Amino acid sequence: MAMETEPQFVPAVNPSSEYHLTKVIALPLMEKPLCPGFYFPTHVRDPKLLADLLENQYVGVFLLKDDTNPPPETLLKGKELLNRLHEIGSLAYISSIKGHQVIHITGLTRIRITEMVEEAPLTVKIDYLKNKPYDMDDGVIKDTFLEVSSVLRDVLKTSPVWRNHRLGDFMYPYLADFGSAMPCGTKHQAQQVLQELDVHKRLQLTLQLARKEMEIIKNESLGMERNHCVFSFLLPEVDEREPVLYEQTPVGVAMALSLTSTGGSTLYMETSLVEEGEAIGCLYLMGEVGEETNESANVAYIVAKKILLKKQPENTFFANSMLRLDLPRCNGRSAGCTMTTSLLSLAIKKPVRKNLAMTGTVTPSGKVLGIGGVKEKTIGARQSQVKTIIFPEANRRDFDQLPENVKEGLHVHFVDEYEQIFELAFGYDEEDYQIELRAEGDEYNLASYVGKPVLYEQTHVGVAMCLAMTSIGGLALYVKTNFDEEDEGDGCIHIIGSLGKEMTESVWMSNDLAIQILRKKNPENTFFADSLLSIYLPACSTSNDTSACSTIVTSLLSLAMNKPVRKDLAMSGTVTPNGKILGIGNVKEKTIGARRSQVKTIIFPEANRRDFDQLPENVKEGLHVHFVDEYEQIFDLAFGYDH
C-alpha cells in the first residue's frame, strides 16, 4: 500500500522516449491521484512490492475508490485490490527511491486499466488515453484558460503551500490539471479532473476548485481555520525573469543562438545532476521539445561521452550519473553543440567561457554541420550583448555577406569539428579567467539595417495604431479606413488583408459596434449607412488575433466623425458586441513594441493590469498607460481632446 508523505523537492525528469509499455505494476494511492506533470514522494509499505519497483523504471498509479482510507495494516492483494482501484490513472516515472520505503514518482500520461495480468505484485495491461481535440483559438476556451490562469496566480501568491512556486506559460491541458492539486478538493474531485478528457470541461473543473481554494485562503486570513488534507503535489519551478547574461557562467550551463518565433535570441541550456550511482548513467530531457531536438540531444550525449573519454580517460562521470538537461521550448538540431557543451561543463566541473554563444548541428562522429538563420541569430547575439559567437564553417559565407554594421564588434569563430568548440569553451587559464561585466547602454547601429519606426507627425483621419504581436516581436502597426464612394442607404465595408474566420467576424462585429457608438454620440450622422468603405489591416502574428478590434472600431469612428485619433496613442484589446474590453496576450512584447516604435501613450484592457505591473521598471519607464474595460473609455482617450 502506498502512503503519500509531506512534500519534498525532487527534480522531475521526463524520459525522452515515447511510451510503449503495454503492462505495468499497479501502485494504489490513497490521498490524491497523480496527474501528468506533477510529482511527489510516496511511501510503499510492502517490502516485496518495493523490491519489484526497484527493478522497474515505470509504474501505473491509481487512486483507491474508498471514501475512507483502509487501516495501515491492511494490505490489499490481487483482484480485491484491482476492484477497489479507479480504472483511470497515470503512467509514472520512478525518478528515485530513497531509503527503505520512500519513492519519488512523476506523472507522465493518462492510462486506463484493461485487464489484470498478475496478482502479486498486481500487474495490469493498459491503454493510453488522449485529450479530445480542441480549438485553442475558440473564444470560450481561451477566456476560460485566461480566467484559470488569473485565479491560480492569486492562489500561488497567497497560499502558504504554493507561495514558493511560479505559474509559467503552460499549455491548456497542463493548466487544466492543476485542479487535481488544489488542497480544498476531495480525492474524488481530483480524480474527476484526471478522468476528464475534454480540456474545456477540465479547465472548468479546475476553475471551480481554484476559486474555492482562493475563498478558503481569504477566510484563513480573517482568522478562520480549516483542516488541511495531506498535500503531496509540487509544481515544477518556472523562472519568469527576463533572460540575462550571467556574471559568471555556472557549471553545466551553455548558451545557444536560437531562432524563435520572434527572431533570433540567446537561450540557456543547463545540465544538472539528479543522482549518482554505479553504472546508472542516463540522460533525461526537461522542456517542450520536438522530435528533432530529442534526437539531437541523444547525439550530443554520445559526443560528450566520446570527448570526455579522450580528454579525461579516468573520468567516469557519464557512466555513473543520472542527468537532467533543461531545454527551452524549441525544435531543431542546431542546438546540438550547445547541449554537448553543457554536458561536458558539468562532467569536467568547469564553466563555459563567459559571454560565449554558439549554434551548430553535431554528428555522432563530432562533425559540426551548417545551420539556418545566420542573420537572425547574429542580430539576436547583438541584442543579448554577446561578444563571442561560434558558427559552423559551412556558414562562413552567410556571415560574411551580412552588413558590416551587424558584424561590427563581434568575435566570430568558424568550426567544423566539435573539438574546436571544446577548446574555445574550456581552453582558458583558470587564473586568468576574469569576469567581464556586462556593458550597460551598449547600443548597436542597427537602425540603418532594420530601419527606424515612423510615427505620423499628425495622425490622419481614419487611422489608428494597434499594438500587435508579429513574427519579429511586438510592434505598433496602423489600421486604416478609407472612404471609397457614397452610396445612400447601402453602406458596406470591404476588408483588405489576410484574415482568418474569427478575425473576419470580429471586423464585422467592430463595424456594428462603431455604428452603435456613432448613433449614440451623433444620431444625425448617417456616414456608415451611406458610405462604401475599405479597411486595411496589417498582417499580425496570427490571422485570428482579435486584439486589434478596439483599434478597428477607433479607425472607423475617426473617419465617420472626420476627426483624427490623438497622436502618439496605440492600443490593444478585444471588444465584445456590447462594448466590453477583454484581456489580450503578449503584454510584455507589445509594451516593448510600443517603446521600439517611440509610442508614449498606450491603452490596455483592465484585465491585463497585473501583467503590465509585473514588467521590469525599465520596460515601463516613460510610458503613459491607461487600463480600460469599456470601449467608451477608449473613445474619450482617443477623441476627447481640445483642438
CA dihedral angle for residue 611, residue 616, residue 621, residue 624, rounded to 10 degrees:
0
Q: Do 463-639 and 253-432 fall under one CATH topology?
A: yes
pLDDT tens per residue, range 243-292: 445 656 788 989 998 876 556 788 888 888 877 777 667 777 776 566 67
Is pLDDT at 219 greater than 80 in this prediction? no
Question: At 449, is the pLDDT very low, low, confident or very high (cuts 50, 70, 90)?
Answer: very low
Least confidently predicted of 106-115, 208-217, 313-322? 208-217
Is pLDDT at 633 greater than 90 in this prediction? yes
The strand pairing partners of 112, in sequence order, are 88, 127
Q: Where are the domains of the chain?
A: 2-128, 139-221, 253-432, 463-639
**Residue 489: per-residue pLDDT:** 64
Question: At 408, is the pLDDT very low, low, confident or very high (cuts 50, 70, 90)?
Answer: confident
Question: At 421, is the pLDDT very low, low, confident or very high (cuts 50, 70, 90)?
Answer: very high
Give the Cα separation of 76 and 84 in Å (integer).
Answer: 9
- The highest-level CATH class for domain 253-432 is alpha beta
pLDDT tens per residue, range 165-188: 444 445 678 778 887 777 777 888
Is pLDDT at 428 greater than 50 in this prediction? yes
Q: Decide which of 102 and 194 is more confident.
A: 194
Give the Cα separation of 585 and 468 in Å (integer).
Answer: 10
Is pLDDT at 568 greater than 70 in this prediction? yes
For residue 443, which amino acid is it? E
Residue that the C-alpha cell 471588444 belongs to: 575
**Residue 274: per-residue pLDDT:** 75
Q: How far is CA 155 from CA 142, 172, 224, in A?
A: 20, 18, 17
The region, left, alpha or beta by phi > 0 then psi within -120 to 50, assigned to residue 441 is left
Is pLDDT at 532 greater than 70 in this prediction? yes
Catalytic site positions? 334, 377, 547, 590
Question: At 643, is the pLDDT very low, low, confident or very high (cuts 50, 70, 90)?
Answer: low
Is pLDDT at 473 greater than 80 in this prediction? no
Angle at 435 between CA 430 and CA 438, to 5 degrees: 160
Which CATH number does 2-128 carry?
2.30.130.40
Least confidently predicted of 315-319, 384-388, 390-394? 384-388
**Residue 453: per-residue pLDDT:** 47
Give the Cα separation of 222 and 217 in Å (integer).
Answer: 9
Q: Decide which of 452 and 420 is more confident.
A: 420
pLDDT tens per residue, range 76-94: 678 888 999 999 999 988 7
Q: List Cβ neighbours of 558 (8 Å cut-off, separation of 6 or more).
A: 461, 462, 463, 464, 481, 564, 565, 638, 639
Give the Cα separation of 29 and 44 in Å (integer).
Answer: 10
Question: At 508, is the pLDDT very low, low, confident or very high (cuts 50, 70, 90)?
Answer: confident
Which CATH number does 463-639 carry?
3.30.230.10
